[in-house]
Structure 1
Amino acid sequence: MKLSVVIPAYNEEESISQTLRSLYQTLAKHGIDHEICVTNDNSKDNTLAVLQQLQQEIPSLVVFTNLGPNGFGYAVRYGLERFSGDCVAVFMADMSDDPEDLVKYYHKMQETGADAVFGSRWQKGGRVVDYPAVKKVVNRIANMIIRLMMGIRYDDTTNAFKLYRRETMEGIKPFLSPHFNLTVELPLKAMVRGYSYEVVPNSWTNRKYGESKLKIKEMGSRYFFILLYCLIEKHFSRGDFKKKTAKPAAVVSR
């Protein structure tokens, strides 16, 4: 099963080298057939030049440039429309996600046959390092609202770091979110449309370089829009977008 890793990158010249080298070395060490797809989201710094140089040492690195429209969601979607693997993970460029956790996701998907594997930083075994206090409060409130409104138990919907089978990703199209609300759209649509998922504890470490691209004040209404969209689909779509399961073959008596 070939793994694709989609990474959006905007002005990440300081972080991207460490992230990609660590990711490649980890996946190669575990013998996982993979490609690393980085979408340069029209960066204004030297991100593209750094990526082009890294292609000389990382054979599985594929570089895209999204000229526009730009934004986190658009950059991720650009990669999700172009990956070649049997499954695909969204991974952050700032090294906040742990490549070893991705290996756990991959093996969990193989072992269980799940349509998706989601991480949780807040369940037993999960871990956060240097998580900003205000961001943590907002995160926990947002995830509580999502759980209550959607009637789910999963507690880390806003975490972008997730793994999906190709069929799952195709089944949750079309994508709507141009910004960070895509992190909520993908898992909620997978749940609403009947795709199975497993949850694996994962870790998160605050970035060492650069600035976070998430602007909390700008994202509230966008998250709420996607939440309402998924809620409406759940209760009023009458299963029109549900995962199609193969019907058992008819038994012909002789």
Structure 2
Amino acid sequence: MKLSVVIPAYNEAESIAETLRALYATLVAEQIDHEIVVTNDNSKDDTLGQLQALSRELPTLRYYTNPGPNGFGYAVRYGLERYQGDCVAVMMADLSDDPADLVRFYRKLLEGYDCVFGSRWGRGGRVVDYPVHKKLLNRVANTLVKTVFRLRYNDCTNAFKLYRRHTMEGLKPFLSPHFNLTLELPLKAIVRGYSYAVLPNSWTNRKYGESKLKIKEMGSRYFFIMLYCLIEKYFSRGDFRKARPGE
């Protein structure tokens, strides 16, 4: 099963090389057939130049420049329309996600699940240098989602997840242009009846640059997606649910 890794990148010139080299080395060492798909989201620094150089070094790297509209969600969606693998993971360009975790996710997906979700906050999960105010808001938001949707899963906003191709196709059309895409994808997968496993994963704060997540701008956008998925859960009469064998 070919693994695709979609990585959005905006002004990540300082971190993109370390991230891609680490990811490539890990997947090659594990003998996983893969491609790395980077969306340069109209970066203002030398991200594009770094990708051009790295493409000569890393044979499984493909990159695009998203002409616009721009934003985290748009950049991820640009990559999700262009990957070629049988399954796809979304990872960050700042090496906050551990490539070794991706290997574990991939092995778990091979057991037959439609998706594998990460959890940084349960047993075995780990966060390094997570900003205190972001942690507080994260736990409040995820507790709300967990309660409203009656889930056991506690980290829906975690971007680091892996989906089979048929699952990703079943989540379309995508609505979110920004970081709320990280909530839209798993909630749609859960509401639409796709099977998923949860594994612990680690998160490490970036060494270079600054976070692109602007909390003040995102509250209403996350709420919109949560409300949309809640309406679908209770009022769509199963129109979007995964088709079962024989249906």
Q: What is the TM-score of this pair, normalised by structure 2?
A: 0.99
Structure 1 distance, partners of 2:149, 2:75, is 27
1:114-148 C-alpha deviation (Å, 9 max, x unpaired): 00000000110000000000000000000000011
Counterpart residue type for residue 42 of structure 1: N
Structure 1 distance, partners of 2:66, 2:245, is 37
SS of alignment partner, residue 226 of structure 2:
helix
TM-superposed CA distance for 1:153, in Å, is 1.1
- Residue equivalent to 2:67: 67
TM-superposed CA distance for 1:245, in Å, is 1.4
TM-superposed CA distance for 1:150, in Å, is 1.1
- Residue equivalent to 2:224: 225
TM-superposed CA distance for 1:151, in Å, is 1.2
TM-superposed CA distance for 1:149, in Å, is 1.0
Structure 2 distance, partners of 1:9, 1:164, is 20
Structure 2 distance, partners of 1:123, 1:135, is 17
Structure 1 distance, partners of 2:148, 2:78, is 30
SS of alignment partner, residue 209 of structure 2:
coil
- Residue equivalent to 2:92: 92
1:38-85 C-alpha deviation (Å, 9 max, x unpaired): 000000110000000000110000001101000000000000011000
Structure 2 distance, partners of 1:225, 1:91, is 24
1:155-177 C-alpha deviation (Å, 9 max, x unpaired): 00000000000000000100000
- Residue equivalent to 1:241: 240
Structure 1 distance, partners of 2:60, 2:67, is 23
Counterpart residue type for residue 10 of structure 1: Y
- Residue equivalent to 1:11: 11
TM-superposed CA distance for 1:12, in Å, is 0.2
Counterpart residue type for residue 17 of structure 1: A
Greater Rg by CA: 1
Counterpart residue type for residue 214 of structure 1: L
Counterpart residue type for residue 165 of structure 2: R
Counterpart residue type for residue 193 of structure 1: R
- Residue equivalent to 1:81: 81
Counterpart residue type for residue 91 of structure 2: F
Alignment partner of 1:186 is 2:201? no
Structure 1 distance, partners of 2:107, 2:116, is 10
TM-superposed CA distance for 1:110, in Å, is 0.6
- Residue equivalent to 1:145: 144
Structure 2 distance, partners of 1:194, 1:15, is 37
Structure 1 distance, partners of 2:133, 2:116, is 27
Structure 2 distance, partners of 1:246, 1:144, is 34
Structure 2 distance, partners of 1:119, 1:246, is 28
Alignment partner of 1:55 is 2:55? yes
- Residue equivalent to 2:194: 195
Alignment partner of 1:33 is 2:33? yes
- Residue equivalent to 1:128: 127
Q: What is the TM-score of this pair, normalised by structure 1?
A: 0.97
Structure 2 distance, partners of 1:62, 1:150, is 37
- Residue equivalent to 1:252: none
Where does the alignment leave 5 or more consecutive residues of structure 1 unmatched? 249-254
Structure 2 distance, partners of 1:45, 1:245, is 47
CA RMSD of aligned residues (A): 0.6
Aligned pairs, how many? 247
Structure 1 distance, partners of 2:107, 2:136, is 32
Structure 2 distance, partners of 1:16, 1:206, is 14
Structure 2 distance, partners of 1:11, 1:170, is 29
SS of alignment partner, residue 119 of structure 1:
strand
TM-superposed CA distance for 1:246, in Å, is 1.8
